[in-house]
A and B are shown apart, each in its own frame.
Chain A
Amino acid sequence: MDSPKLLVQGVTKTFRTGRQRLDVLASIDLVVAAGEFVSVIGPSGCGKSTLFNIIAGIEKPTSGTIAIDGEASTILAGKTGYMLQQPLLLPWRTVEENVMLGLDVRHVPRKKARYEAYELLKRFRLAEFAQHYPSTLSGGMRQRVALLRTVLFNNSFLLLDEPFGALDALTRLSCQMWLLDLWHEFHSSVLFITHDVREAILLSDRIYVLSARPARVLRIVDVNLPRPRQPEHLALNQSVQLEQELMSILMKEQSI
């Protein structure tokens, strides 16, 4: 059997500042199979982003192991496509140059990088903005560009930390469908953080529910909705029930 894309085993994280210690993650186990779309939901401030920083190789876990493609390594940076809530586009680079940033880091020749970035923009209907600066784009457009930058760096495993959290409802929905398109096209594995229960249901194969800090896994829920997903699927009985169930778990965890 193939090894899973991501295997997180017993990962904990404790921050120490002087005498104070803050337990953020209390032993997390988590699996993302190849080609799977997995979401993580939890009350705000529960440590989801810390978990992502650890998987992305920006922070070290206090204990536990993380394996990507079956390979447990302490150097995780460069193995995932990481994206955050803010688009973090470089204002001095055009859309095309922003998309190719990851290839610049990898020392891909500029001409080749530019070509690949442009092809990707063309494929996802953003070619007309290739030579624009990010400051001229709308919020939704910026997130799309940031997503393409992430994909061009690594399309096999995407770590998305609330990528659509700052968008209005309509833009968010169109970005969500666009993401599913992209995921389908590249057969990527996705780990997705969100606050939004409906977003998690609409997008995921599986949902991990985390507790309040220190975070542990409270529930793992399979979402058995048909693919390709449509916004209408959220109105199905099983979706509504799932939403109620997840909301009630989260409400108990949410501090006032």
Chain B
Amino acid sequence: MKLRRLAGYGPAFVLAVTLLVLWELYVRAGLISVQVLPAPTSIVQGLIDNWNVIYDNTIQTLLETVLGMGIAILLGLMLAIMLDISSWLRRAIYPLLVTSQTIPIIALAPLLLIWIGYDIRPKLIVVALFCFFPIAIACADGLASAEPELLNLLRSMRASRWQILWLVRLPGSMPAFFSGLRIAATYSVIAAIFGEYVGGEKGLGIYMQRAANSFATVQVFAAILVTAVLSLLLFGLVSVIERIALPWYHGSVARW
């Protein structure tokens, strides 16, 4: 079973390796300067050589990402429940929520720096701003998708509004919530790096900027590689948590 799932990634793996080999050959053939585009092998070598510094910055970025995501999850869930509580609140909040996504965070980030400072807080806000929206929307849709007849059944049992939310709607919205969370997870690392780019002391974004300013292309690419791996790991982590939290959605029999 596991082997077959791995085999599903075969075509993607073959394509990726082919592209990497072509890239390596292209650079080695001297068709492009290594200052402009370093070969994959030299990027990996660069990553190993600079590991201590990159590791330090990675931890900082990871911290911002995870904390920012935590805020985004709380904010997203709260907004989703508020959207669901009354149609009046929904009509009040929903348009504002969508409008908030039209504000370019690129413009907002420097302002945050002026308002709050150079520490970790503006980065957390940038990550949360990027990530709360898909979580809130997915979760609100999940809450609204509860079967009306199921709600009637609970009403016939004289369940309170909060009981209906807790026993039926919230658990029922979890698959949608996790879809939103996966989208948010793929944004989150990039959002943290973006937050750092505007100004800060540590983090992959800062590292990339410094490397680029001194034309150390190998180090820029090494940092990009770490960013990609980090994003994939977070995405995978969310999927694993989902499988553990929602066994009914994936498997069949409870595990005890």
Minimum CB–CB distance from B169 to chain A (whole Å) comes to 11
Taking a contact as CB atoms under 8 Å apart, the answer to whether A78 and B158 are in contact is yes
| Interface membership of chain A positions 76-104, coded 1 if the CB is closer than 8 angstroms to chain B and 0 otherwise | 01101010101010111110000001101
A80-B156 contact given A86-B149, A92-B174, CB 8 Å threshold: yes
How many residues of B are counted as interface, with CB atoms below 8 angstroms from the partner's CB atoms? 26
Q: Is the CB of B96 closer than 8 A to any CB of chain A?
A: no
> How far apart are the CA atoms of A77 and B167 in the complex, in Å?
17
Is the beta-carbon distance between A88 and B150 smaller than 8 angstroms? yes
- CA of A104 to CA of B166 in the docked complex: distance in angstroms? 11
- Of B153, B163, B171, most A-chain CB atoms within 10 Å: B153
- Chain B residues 198 to 256 lying within 8 A of chain A, measured CB to CB, are 246-249, 251-254, 256
**B168 close to A (CB within 8 Å):** yes
CB contacts (< 8 Å) of B147 on chain A: these are: 88
Partner of A131, one of B156, B168, B251, B256: B256
B177 to chain A, nearest CB (A): 13
Interface residues of B in 142-186 (CB under 8 A from A): 147, 149-150, 152-159, 163, 167-168, 171-172, 174
Interface of chain B: mostly helix, strand, loop or mixed: helix
**Size category, A interface:** 20 to 34
* Among candidates B156, B168, B174, residue contacting A82 with C-beta atoms closer than 8 Å: B156
Interface residue from A53, A94, A136, A153 paired with B157 (Cβ < 8 Å)? A153
User: Which residues of A are found within 8 Å of B247, using beta-carbon distances?
Assistant: 133
With A and B bound together, what is the CA distance between A180 and B256 in angstroms?
A: 33
Q: Which residues of B contact A101 (CB under 8 A)?
A: 157, 167
Interchain nearest-CB distance for A136 vs B (Å): 5
Contacts of A135 in B (CB 8 A): 248, 252
B53-72 CB contacts (< 8 Å) to partner A: none
Contact indicator per residue, chain B 34-53, by CB within 8 Å of chain A (1) or not (0): 00000000000000000000
Asked whether any CB of chain B lies closer than 8 Å to the CB of A58, the reply is: yes
Please tell me if the beta carbons of B156 and A104 are within 8 angstroms of each other in the complex.
no
* Complex contact A102–B155 (CB within 8 A): no
- On whether the beta carbons of B167 and A105 are closer than 8 Å, the reply is yes
Give the distance to chain B from A104, nearest Cβ to Cβ, in Å. Answer: 6
Q: Does A57 lie at the interface of the complex (its beta carbon under 8 Å from any beta carbon of B)?
A: yes
Question: Which residue on chain A has the smallest CB distance to residue B152?
Answer: A58
Q: Are A77 and B156 interface neighbours, CB within 8 A?
A: yes
Q: What residues of chain A have their CB less than 8 Å away from a CB belonging to chain B?
A: 53, 56-58, 75, 77-78, 80, 82, 84, 86, 88, 90-94, 101-102, 104-106, 131-133, 135-136, 153, 159
CB pairs A–B below 8 angstroms (16 shown): A56-B156, A57-B156, A57-B158, A77-B155, A78-B157, A80-B156, A82-B157, A90-B172, A92-B171, A92-B248, A92-B249, A101-B167, A104-B167, A105-B154, A132-B252, A133-B253
